[in-house]
Every structure is written in structure tokens, then in C-alpha cells.
Amino acid sequence: MAPARVTTGEVTARVEDLEGLAVRARALARPGRRAILGLTGAPGAGKSTLGAELVDALGPTSVLVPMDGFHLAGLELSRLGRSDRKGAPDTFDVEGYLALLRRLRAGSGSTVYAPEFRREIEEPIAGAIAVTPHHALVVTEGNYLLDEGAGWADVRQLLDAVWYLDIPDDERRRRLVARHEAHGASLQDARAHALGSDERNAERVRGTRWRADLVLA
């Protein structure tokens, strides 16, 4: 399914219209075939929040599988010298993420276990999310679902649709600072992170907006 181009600045749906978004998501599913919906946007756009709300609205036949479960562990980031760029495309196991998406797409009739990123410890946990055969719709969210870089370019073809969350940068940065503080960072460090590596990643993600099927504001 080829992504539709979106004119810069065009908004085609509202985040607040959860009922309408749920209707759109349900329409992706087909009898006997699991659908995968992607939610993307810059860091702090609210992807995980919308994903959880959408799955809750859709009910027990849907499940949330975040891309963040494929963060490389802290020890590996240190070994690679990438700790100060955590969240950049090369700090994820993109091949592992692709393998999971292919398994989910194949729908073999058995339970597939996916990893989850735990912000309280800043580490991924393997086998934390069970995707069972009765899950007809998988919602996956992450920064790089529309990225065209090495490895990431193969993600889009495994998704039925990708929605891009677009919120004002000031609000997005405020959320990031609050998130970093909530997980133990000082205000100074939280701001440095939000305006440093987070902002560099945000610039990259913004460049993929035009590839989305739907832009949410």
C-alpha cells in the first residue's frame, strides 16, 4: 500500500476525535488478515499516549506494540559510543523490529512476544507484550516509521497505514522537558536533552511527514 502525499501544513484529522480515529483504524482490518497501523511524529508529539487511548477505544482485538522496545540496551550504547545520542536511528535494533513486523504480518496462529521499553529504568524488556492470534489490529508507534534511512526504509511496506502526529514545537519541547524531569533528570539536564539530541531527532522525523497517510493535529 503506497503512502499518500500530504501537502505541507495540511491537517486531515484531529487527535481529539478519538471515535473517528477508531473508525478509521477498524476499517484497516480484514477477515483472516491482521492489520498494522503505525503512529509516528517527533519526540514528545504524544504517540504513546494516542496509541494507548486508541487501543483502549478499539477493545480487546487490538494491541499496542511500540517501536521503543527495540532500543539498544545502555551497555551496548556505551560500547558503541552512542549513549549521548540515545533515540537516534542507529540506537535501535531496526532489523529486530522488522523481523517482528514480518512475524506479526504473517499471522502464524501462535502468540508472538514483543519487547517493551521501560522508562523508569531506561531499558528494553524482552517478551513483555503478548500479541495473540485474536489480535486483529496491531498499533505500533515510533519516531522512524516513515524514515528512508538504512533498514528503516523497509518498515513502511509492512504497515497498512501510518498516521503522523503534528503538534506545536513549543508544546512538544515542554512535554519532553517534563518527561525527562519525571524520570530523574535535573531541569538543566532535561532541557539539554530536549533541545539537543531530541531536537536533532525531531528534525529528521519532520522530514518524513509528507509520506504519512493521515496528519493529526
**Mean pLDDT score of the chain:** 89
- In the structure grid, which three cell numbers stand for residue 126, read together? 524482552
pLDDT of 8 > 60? The answer is no
pLDDT of 6 > 80? The answer is no
- Write the pLDDT tens digit of every residue in 123-177: 899 999 999 999 999 999 999 999 999 899 999 999 999 999 998 888 888 887 8
Reduced 3-state DSSP string for 106-170: HCCCCCEEEEEEECCCCEEEEEEEEECCCCCEEEEECCCCCCCCCCHHHCHHHCCEEEEECCCHH
What φ, ψ does residue 33 adopt, rounded to 5°?
-140, 120
Residue with cell 486483529: 136
- Name the band, by pLDDT with cuts 50, 70 and 90, for residue 11: low
- Write the pLDDT tens digit of every residue in 24-54: 999 998 888 899 999 999 999 999 999 999 9
Q: How many CB atoms lie within 10 A of CB 59?
A: 10
CA distance 124 to 106: 24
Exposure b/e, 114-136, CB count within 10 A at least 16 = b? bbbbeeeeeebeeeebebeeebb
- Write the pLDDT tens digit of every residue in 60-109: 999 999 999 999 999 999 999 998 888 899 999 999 999 999 999 997 78
Q: Which fold has domain 18-216?
A: Rossmann fold (3.40.50)
CA distance 42 to 165: 8
